[in-house]
Copies of this chain bind each other. A is one copy, B any other.
Amino acid sequence: MAHGAPAVSAANRQRSPAERIDREAVRAYRLEEQIGHLIRRAHQRASAIFDAVMRGFDVTPVQFAALAKLHDLGPTSQNLLGRMVGIDPATMFGVAGRLAKRGLVRQGPDPSDARRILLDLTGEGRAVVEGMKSVGAEVSARTLDPLTPGEARELQRLLARIC
């Protein structure tokens, strides 16, 4: 708080604690400077670029994240795969189902644990994920286009720190 005004104004002295308002903070608030808002906007733009570049594959960003990690790991349970890429179990249920319905993934039992469902890439799934990985750098490059290479690396580093 950089200004000299009292933290609680005269107008607020009568109110209940929950309704006390810092007028100076209200006046100073700028939505477009808030980190959450900037991230939300950036997320919209990055998704749009992914859609444009990956159009031909008909796979969403989240579906691709699951496929890509499954490609790295080999057969993996739904929950674990979701944990690796940041998809909660309730969401993963739908994602895995859609990938299975499209024939990109197989859902099988885990012999060592009857609770788990093992996901595995099908041949088509492998072909799709490899095709997408081979042009994946293009998505990041286009998204980072407004920045210099140094700035791009810095942004990547800072985002990784706040995750």
Query: In the complex, what residue of chain B is closest to A41 when comparing beta carbons?
Result: B163
CB distance from A17 to the nearest CB of B (A): 11
Which stretch, A61-69, A97-105, A113-121, touches the partner chain B?
A61-69
- B44 in contact with A86 (CB, 8 Å): yes
Q: Which residue of B23, B38, B130 is within 8 Å of A160 (Cβ)?
A: B38
- B31 in contact with A162 (CB, 8 Å): no
Query: In the complex, what residue of chain B is closest to A151 when comparing beta carbons?
Result: B158
For window 1-44 of chain A, which residues contact chain B by CB distance below 8 Å?
18-19, 21-23, 25-26, 29, 31-44
- A158 in contact with B163 (CB, 8 Å): no
List the B side residues contacting A140 at CB < 8 Å: 34-36
List the B side residues contacting A23 at CB < 8 Å: 134
With an 8 A cutoff between CB atoms, is A46 at the interface? Answer: yes
Q: Which residue of B21, B39, B151 is within 8 Å of A131 (Cβ)?
A: B21
List the B side residues contacting A158 at CB < 8 Å: 147, 151, 154-155, 158
CB distance from A39 to the nearest CB of B (A): 5
With an 8 A cutoff between CB atoms, is A45 at the interface? Answer: yes
A147 to B18, CA, bound (A): 30
With an 8 A cutoff between CB atoms, is A156 at the interface? Answer: yes
- A159 in contact with B155 (CB, 8 Å): yes
Given A34-B136, A35-B155, A43-B43, output 9 extra A-B contacts at Cβ < 8 Å: A18-B131, A31-B72, A35-B159, A38-B159, A40-B43, A40-B46, A40-B61, A151-B158, A155-B158
Q: Are A36 and B56 CB-contacts (below 8 A) given A158-B151, A162-B144?
A: no
